[in-house]
Structure 1
């Protein structure tokens, strides 16, 4: 089960899991996008086993609809998330609530259900796609960083709840990633500043993420590679961890 998987990192994770032999459930809010993602998956991955569910996981009702459509899962990747630049003093209560419902509560609701079945079966993998922004809260979108930091606590706490059960729980921390949304964001900034998209990407990193060690945006596939490993039997001793795939942005040796 990969939420927010009609494009970007989510779709890359779904493709990676399909390559590894998993039956994948694609989720999205629009039937057209779900159908397009499934078609792409089946076209590029011959023999891939995949199906889709349309629901709004930013609501309790949407999460329940997904649970009813797909009652069990061995691997749950909570990738769904929203972000947006907004000055702190302009972030109102409705914005805070929206970010928590989508970025945090969707994962809470799904993990609360699917973890019980995993525990009963003695095996499972739960991941929360966080961000380096959880450790390096961006001043330009504090609400986003705080919501991702909340996932860190949620993941660690759930890992303790499931200790010894055979179910692992981890967060994945991407950095700037070349998704459709990021490409559009950089293109808009490039137009405003009269530079090319390639130049703007370098400027963005220099101005906003100067500690990057790879000095570029990661690809969705690079993030997905870590997610697939963390979902595999080989990662059986990795739990309660924050796994970084952010290009060395975070200034920490831990």
Structure 2
């Protein structure tokens, strides 16, 4: 029976891999990498750096395939079908890679940014492949340090406050409004910087881009003050690299308080 490891590799720093992840890397025969094109070649290089760090003697095989494009212009009722189509296109690739490139007694692995359980499609795609019944395999999941954990660690703050909930959502959802009854909101996948609409409220932002990599950028402070700096740094970084991955925490200040932590910026 073929076996697959789905390995969470953290936000980008090779030192953030867990011991369990390193063990899984070292008993893998074939690593499957989806190439996102020349613009995002940094992402492939970071994965290769992790393999070189933790498997210095090699002994494995790399198999690369081009990641299918997704319709990022889809919105409203067309958004979920567009994501479904993209996942099915990925499932076609996974099915072919596992069936053609992995021997029946071998172990393959997919390296997943952050943690495979948080806003990642790998597990759902593997389940779709199994449901098709054309290729059989077992798989396990190795948790990783998510960008959420990396973000709050780098800002030296907690994810939640005493006896209060925290919610993780997307920029698309945040644009519809802050969730009721939640004062701490982590936002991922925000290409349009939805935090800007809350600049007139008593909310602090803890923002980070390229977390765990040499290009890491951190900014924190009241949205009204930190927001323009984030917009500028984000635009400059995207122009320089051609892509950006960022995450942020919004924290509503208790009534009667004046501002949050002093705003700061750290660039890698």
Q: TM-score range by the shorter chain?
A: 0.3 to 0.5
- Greater gyration radius: 2
TM-score, reference length from structure 2: 0.34
Decide which structure has greater strand share: 2
